[in-house]
């Protein structure tokens, strides 16, 4: 759970990892989060400093508010920080198109 930065704005996010699968969840707040139509599920892999998310499906593809395509998770990211049980920081893009995630492990 944590946040991502896009165009100098922080947005809340939650990504659940199980095996090689991932699932995005709504953060619970109404402001500064991805639209429900942007939330995805799929698989992920790590190769050296690259974190790759592959899309399986959009969780709420028929949600009435359209998705800002810059916020869609699937893609290749550069890993900046990964610690065994605590933090993960990764990004893709440059300039105004850069998106950077800052996640901290939360036990459920």
Task: Convert the chain into a string of H (helix), E (strand) and C (coil).
Answer: CEEEEECCEEEEEEEEEECCEEEEECCCCCCCECCHHHCEEEEEEEECCEEEEEEEEECCCCCCCCCCHHHCCCEEEEEEEECCCCEEEEEECCHHHCEEEEEECCCC
Q: How confident is the model at residue 65 (pLDDT cuts 50, 70, 90)?
A: confident
Mean pLDDT of the chain: 91
Per-residue pLDDT at 16 exceeds 90: yes
CATH 2.60.40 is right for the domain spanning 2-104:
no
pTM given for the model: 0.90
Q: What is the pLDDT of residue 64?
A: 86
Mean pLDDT of the region 86-103: 94
Give phi and psi for 69, each to the nearest 5. Answer: -60, -20
Q: What is the pLDDT of residue 108?
A: 62
């Amino acid at each position: 759970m944590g946040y991502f930065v896009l165009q100098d704005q922080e947005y809340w996010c939650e990504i659940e990892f199980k095996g090689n699968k991932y699932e995005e969840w709504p953060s619970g707040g109404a402001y500064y989060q991805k639209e429900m139509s942007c939330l995805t599920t799929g698989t992920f892999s790590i190769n050296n400093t690259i974190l790759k998310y592959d899309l399986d499906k959009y969780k709420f593809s028929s949600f009435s508010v359209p998705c800002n395509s810059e916020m869609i998770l699937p893609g290749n990211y550069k890993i900046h920080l990964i610690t065994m049980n605590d933090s993960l920081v990764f990004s893709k893009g440059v300039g105004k198109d850069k998106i950077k995630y800052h996640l901290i492990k939360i036990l459920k």
